Structure 1
Amino acid sequence: MAGRTGEPVRARADSDAPPAPPAHDRPTAAGVASVYRDVLGLDGCAEDESFFRLGGDSFHAARALAVLARRHGVRLPLAEMYRDSSPAAVAGGLRALMDRPRPRRSITSLARRRRTWFPLSLSQESFYAMDRATGGAGLFNNVGRLTLRGDIDPTALRQALADAVRRQPALRTVFGEEDGRAVQRFTEQDAPRIDTCDLRTHNGAALLRRHIREQHLRGFDLHAEPPVRFVLARTADREWTLLTAVHHIVFDGMSQSLLLDEIARAYAHRVGAAPECAAPDFTYADFAYWQRDTLRGDRLEEHLHGLAEAVRHTPSPIVGDGGLGEGYTSRIRPFGVDDAVVRKLRHRASLHDTTVFVGLVAAVLEFAARRAGGTRQLVAVQAANRGLPGTEDVIGCFSNTLYVSGDARPSSDPEERLAKTRDDVARALRHEEMPLDHALGLLAGRGTGTACRPQIGFALQPPRHQARELPGGVLEAEYLLQRGDTVDPTTFPLVLELFAEPGGLSGVSHHRLAVWPDGAFEEAERQLTSAFAYMTST
């Protein structure tokens, strides 16, 4: 394959090896404690203090680990923080990693970036296959509504969108096929497509709803256009609404906040209130190559062995006979957990040196146990998978699905349920870097674990509502969820998606109509709410 300049890309010979990486300071407990203080905004942190008891959650933990990875040149898996999150333990884990021999790379990042096409990440392959199978339908669109109020300069805003797309190459990706395999490349387009309209009319609200619905339904031609589009609407004299639609193949939950940061910083620069930001050194191409370089040999076998153990027992069905039924139509309904329950659950989780996410998974397992019984249950959970240094600032498809295998017998003690789930989640997080669909495909080829699929999917996402200060105004963002009936390509009878909000957790449930008889899901909803309340009971 030729590079951008027409020169062939070659592997480095030993005599042309890159220089040794720079020496990094040895981690100390005091140094880790200082990172905790910065990330959590604290005045102090003892060397034996639990990160989670200090108020940290999985999002803060990932940020702290990213800072430590840049500082010390090694990354500690998030699973290790679930075992012991004290600064002393984390520093010890980092030192142990620094003492291990490091693998060499056969091709430098610079050489790789010269390639016109580069492979899909393993995480992207499933989305690409489903997109092809559905004819590019809008099943994987992430839609956001950004409201900008104040003295907004529309020309500067358009320029800021172009800057954001230029800084984040994933937003200007196009896909293709070469030698029978899917590939992708970053285009050099000058500016993204931005449709504009004026909705300062008596039926402006209805027209805006129509635009939102179109962004949900209209798919992308991944071979012909970048997987992002914008609609900029004037909705009042001092108000603009920006609709964003991005395909999941280049966008995950953490990318939502990153896109807001990019737009706000670029806008401030374009109106002369801030300096221009340099583009991140790390790109999604680096991640795709790293993933394929890394997930092989003994490391791959370790992940496959762990997943095979997780799916060894078939979970009992939570509804009907557990079959998929006919059709892929799911009904989306609002679902929430009120603030009082969340506060109690967060407190109980901190006493067990863990996060509210683990408490929520424990509640989902308790719900499954009450519905199905049995000995083991599987819950598919979403993980950020941004442990590799550099990924924390990059828009892209990094998130991964993990199988949490837990006790499926109803518990008489919520403390015991939480403690067991903490261990179950930590065990699953050992495989955060392994794309699940890719692993299942490899196991199927070996005749292992093909029929053992979870009954429930669960995701805890960043807040749906966020705000950024702008020169002369404010940006308020909401990522929009669909309601009603929709086509869902997943196989789970039930998916629960929750977002952190000031008043608790709010989100939606998706239940497959083919497997829930009329009225059956209403009872399941009550049981699910009861399971969350149970996890805070004494």
Structure 2
Amino acid sequence: LARAYLNRALLSAERFVPDPFGATGARLYRTGDLARYRADGVIEYVGRVDHQVKIRGFRIELGEIETLLLAQPGVREALVLAADHQLIAYLVAEQQDAEALKAILREQLPDYMVPAHLIFLDRMPLNPNGKLDRQALPKPDASQSQHAWVAPVTELEQQIAALWADILGVERVGLADHFFERGGHSLLAMQVVSRLRHALGREVPLKLLFEQPRLERFAAALQALEASVGEPVPALLPASREQPLPLSYAQERQWFLWQLDPHSAAYHIPSALRLKGALDRSALQRSFDALVARHESLRTCIQVLPEGARQVIQAQAPVSIALGEVSEIDLHAQVAAEIARPFDLQAGPLLRVTLLRLAEDEHVLVLVQHHIVSDGWSMQVMVDELVQLYAAFSQGEMPQLPGMPIQYADYALWQRDWMEAGEKARQLAYWRDLLGGEQPVLELPFDHQRPAQQSHRGARLDVPLPAALATDLKALAQAHGVTLFMLLLASFQTLLHRYSGQQDIRVGVPIANRNRVETERLIGFFVNTQVLKAEIDGQTTVAQLLAQVKQRALEAQAHQDLPFEQLVEALQPERSLSLNPLFQVMFNHQAEGRPGDTPPALAHLRIEGLAWERRTAHFDLDLDVQENRDGLWASLGYATDLFNASTIERMARHWQNLLQAMVDDQAQTLGQLNLLDRDEQQHILQLWNRTDSGFPATRLVHELVADRAAET
């Protein structure tokens, strides 16, 4: 062998490496061949190191893909390369049908091994030495990155394609399109299912969309379903208003909590909007009056009658808009004070509107609702419709909002009838089987002893997630056939497992619970809470946990209608005012796609959201992640009665490190995922592992004691 490459020092250093078995100065040549010792001592050739790449955390043998391509009729040459975190296949073939080849690859390879681009060449480029000239290979362009559009054919395919396009906000959808690759997520998937249920008049399982996310296969699977799948759900129709209507199950729990502490602001739903420009106060007043007339829940209060607490819908009256002057310095304190003012659920109203004037052309509109008549989705609906109403009234026009066939009180009555008709028993059986009879409490390492009663005092910490990490996480989720919600939930459950040492990890997850078309534009308390359980030990791999979380999430969606309050009542966990029943930690993932995410622009008024410091906590700990096209934003909320800020800051760093470790190698077990950054590792190794005692190592303990006695 040669000693080095002539005049190529860097390449020589890379290929001619020190020989650990030879004399000093001896060298070995790194050939790039990959081999392994078998149990019988034989060395087995595996392949080339340069043919093994790592993309999105997966180790991929490029030769395996090339072999499969070369096995296809008409493919004479095939080369697969990795570039920019994706696979590119170069082919010399008689037929240049990329979609057909990709379909074959998908049947025999996991998604992460299917090349993103198939580029057909007349011949492979060679250099003067007759070797492949990789620099001459063409790079994929934007046109090659798109699927060939295939038009839907059947009536069902066309119906699904139109529905997907509307929900995803894209111009068109073809047969080869993948729902989640086109921007879909769990919340939008639920909208697809609810609208198909409404259009087809039968149940559509959510898991079907996850199992067959490409339009052609989804339509075929849906067509194959029996029309009688699942019991028919009764129609959601208007109820008589001749007498007060019962509360929904969720409202009953809110009523109970309010009676415990009528002065608490823990269950207020606030929003603050900065209005810049000339404000038409008359149009604003008319907009609120129209909004309250449109939504009965905004003029609902609670009354106790002999048969129990009931919803009472009050007559329409002008909305009271409180006016005030405020400086920029005092603005956030004033907004916080408005949000903290308690409601009287019996007297009402349960919507409070305050307009704070900063300058002639700048105001802040503070909206506060009580949770018993609203939720986060409802607030977005209200802001969206308020803007539409104002846009019309300020231009002297009549607003054009869609009709309201039902109201929240109708839903509350329908929910009770449906649950009591047998649906409650069906769904409860699933949750009983999953959660069992014993309900463990998550024991995190607190800084302070748990108080006898929750004070709901809390704080939040913003947790930055770099854009590159967010991109890798989305790619990892796609490669495993899970949503980003499922991936992030799995990461959080892993963190809780590592912190607590417990193997049964239960996390509360809020769901919009608007799985019927009729409820999408209603204002009311729809949100429900599910208890998602993960069974984890240190030997569970990332891939295994993702598969488990996906299965549990889809099962939970199929049993999402059982109100959390009914689950608590049925399981009868040990009740305590010091903690939440069934789970103590919450995970919330919000993605684009809710009404009001992008309110209409106004000609003479710019609307901006106003952030403020949240000082309440419903749980020991909660992780909130928001997703949009620009990236991910996360925050950790915590009970200040239990945690110090420094502990939460460290926990946030550990979660960030864990996410990066999951991306780097999904073959790792959860116990191997690194939580510590370099500074923490050095701190533990150097400061916490000091062995210098200051005593001579040659003296025994009894001799040291005698020496010390002699000195004194």
Q: Give the shorter-chain TM-score range.
A: 0.7 to 0.9
Amino acid in the other structure paired with 2:509? V
**Alpha carbons 2:276, 2:362 under 8 Å: kept:** yes
Cα gap change, 1:40 to 1:451, in 2 (>3 Å)? closer
**Alpha carbons 1:468, 1:474 under 8 Å: kept:** no
Farther off after superposition, 62-71 or 166-175: 62-71
Distance in 1 between the 2:407 and 2:220 partners?
28
Cα gap change, 1:517 to 1:327, in 2 (>3 Å)? farther
Which of the residues 444, 448, 465 maps onto 1:319?
A: 444
Q: How big is each residue's C-alpha offset from its partner over 1:346-381, in whole Å with a ceiling of 9 and x where there is no partner?
A: 222223333211111111111122123343311111
Residue 12 of structure 1 corresponds to none
Is 1:208 aligned with 2:331? Answer: yes
Which of the residues 409, 414, 419 maps onto 1:285?
A: 409
Mapping of residues 136-215 of structure 1, within 5 Å = 136-199=263-326, 204-215=327-338
Which of the residues 591, 594, 604 maps onto 1:472?
A: 604
Cα gap change, 1:212 to 1:34, in 2 (>3 Å)? same
Q: How much has 1:297 moved relative to structure 2? A: 4.6
* Higher RCO, Cα 8 Å, sep 6+: 1
Distance in 2 between the 1:446 and 1:76 partners?
37
Is 1:379 aligned with 2:507? Answer: yes
Residue 583 of structure 2 corresponds to 454
Is 1:364 aligned with 2:496? Answer: no
Question: Match of 2:400, SS?
Answer: coil
Which of the residues 45, 49, 52 maps onto 2:180?
A: 52
Which of the residues 219, 225, 233 maps onto 2:348?
A: 225
**Alpha carbons 2:507, 2:585 under 8 Å: kept:** yes
**Alpha carbons 2:459, 2:639 under 8 Å: kept:** no
Distance in 2 between the 1:300 and 1:493 partners?
29
Distance in 2 between the 1:260 and 1:95 partners?
42
Residue 309 of structure 1 corresponds to 433
Distance in 2 between the 1:208 and 1:308 partners?
49
**Alpha carbons 2:289, 2:318 under 8 Å: kept:** yes
Is 1:268 aligned with 2:268? Answer: no
Amino acid in the other structure paired with 1:265? Q
Cα gap change, 1:331 to 1:225, in 2 (>3 Å)? closer
Amino acid in the other structure paired with 1:223? Q
Which of the residues 545, 553, 558 maps onto 1:425?
A: 553
Distance in 1 between the 2:554 and 2:297 partners?
30
**Alpha carbons 1:316, 1:374 under 8 Å: kept:** no
Cα gap change, 1:527 to 1:187, in 2 (>3 Å)? same
Amino acid in the other structure paired with 2:325? D
Is 1:331 aligned with 2:455? Answer: no
Amino acid in the other structure paired with 1:220? F
Farther off after superposition, 281-290 or 269-278: 269-278
Amino acid in the other structure paired with 2:249? L
Distance in 2 between the 1:140 and 1:104 partners?
31
Cα gap change, 1:163 to 1:104, in 2 (>3 Å)? closer
Question: Match of 2:266, SS?
Answer: helix
Distance in 2 between the 1:91 and 1:131 partners?
50
Is 1:131 aligned with 2:263? Answer: no
Which of the residues 532, 537, 542 maps onto 1:404?
A: 532
Cα gap change, 1:178 to 1:251, in 2 (>3 Å)? same
Is 1:99 aligned with 2:228? Answer: yes
Q: How much has 1:316 moved relative to structure 2? A: 7.0
Q: How much has 1:120 moved relative to structure 2? A: 0.9
**Alpha carbons 1:380, 1:457 under 8 Å: kept:** yes
Amino acid in the other structure paired with 1:365? Q
Q: How big is each residue's C-alpha offset from its partner over 1:279-331, in whole Å with a ceiling of 9 and x where there is no partner?
A: 41121012101210111254212211211123226557341499954342443
Distance in 2 between the 1:103 and 1:400 partners?
19
**Alpha carbons 1:78, 1:429 under 8 Å: kept:** yes
Amino acid in the other structure paired with 2:589? L
| TM-score, with structure 1 as normaliser | 0.83
Distance in 1 between the 2:444 and 2:419 partners?
36
Question: Match of 1:475, SS?
Answer: strand
**Alpha carbons 1:145, 1:243 under 8 Å: kept:** yes
Farther off after superposition, 128-137 or 232-241: 232-241
Farther off after superposition, 141-150 or 223-232: 141-150
Which of the residues 472, 477, 481 maps onto 1:344?
A: 472
Residue 249 of structure 1 corresponds to 372
Amino acid in the other structure paired with 2:413? Y
Question: Match of 1:348, SS?
Answer: helix
Question: Match of 2:606, SS?
Answer: strand
Larger radius of gyration: 2
Cα gap change, 1:158 to 1:316, in 2 (>3 Å)? closer
**Alpha carbons 1:310, 1:404 under 8 Å: kept:** no
Cα gap change, 1:69 to 1:500, in 2 (>3 Å)? same
The percentage of counterpart residues that share the same residue type is 23
**Alpha carbons 2:198, 2:516 under 8 Å: kept:** no
**Alpha carbons 2:573, 2:581 under 8 Å: kept:** no
Q: How big is each residue's C-alpha offset from its partner over 1:453-511, in whole Å with a ceiling of 9 and x where there is no partner?
A: 3242111235798553013223223464514xx4x4x4x43222233366543354233
Is 1:531 aligned with 2:658? Answer: yes
Distance in 2 between the 1:116 and 1:532 partners?
54
Q: How much has 1:128 moved relative to structure 2? A: 1.3
**Alpha carbons 1:273, 1:471 under 8 Å: kept:** no
Distance in 2 between the 1:158 and 1:452 partners?
42
Q: How much has 1:91 moved relative to structure 2? A: 6.9
Residue 50 of structure 2 corresponds to none
Q: How much has 1:195 moved relative to structure 2? A: 0.4
Distance in 2 between the 1:118 and 1:148 partners?
38
**Alpha carbons 2:529, 2:564 under 8 Å: kept:** yes
Farther off after superposition, 126-135 or 252-261: 252-261
Question: Match of 1:113, SS?
Answer: coil
**Alpha carbons 2:459, 2:640 under 8 Å: kept:** no
Amino acid in the other structure paired with 2:478? S
Q: How big is each residue's C-alpha offset from its partner over 1:213-255, in whole Å with a ceiling of 9 and x where there is no partner?
A: 2122111101101211111122223222111011111221211
Residue 16 of structure 1 corresponds to none
Cα gap change, 1:473 to 1:454, in 2 (>3 Å)? same
Question: Match of 1:206, SS?
Answer: coil
Distance in 1 between the 2:351 and 2:218 partners?
42
Q: How much has 1:513 moved relative to structure 2? A: 4.2
Cα gap change, 1:239 to 1:518, in 2 (>3 Å)? closer
Amino acid in the other structure paired with 2:352? R
Question: Match of 1:115, SS?
Answer: coil
Q: How big is each residue's C-alpha offset from its partner over 1:88-147, in whole Å with a ceiling of 9 and x where there is no partner?
A: 436744884743564667xx944x232331111112111111011112422211221112
Q: How big is each residue's C-alpha offset from its partner over 1:188-207, in whole Å with a ceiling of 9 and x where there is no partner?
A: 222222101233xxxx1234
RMSD: 3.2
**What are structure 1's unaligned runs of at least 5 residues?**
1-25
| TM-score, with structure 2 as normaliser | 0.64
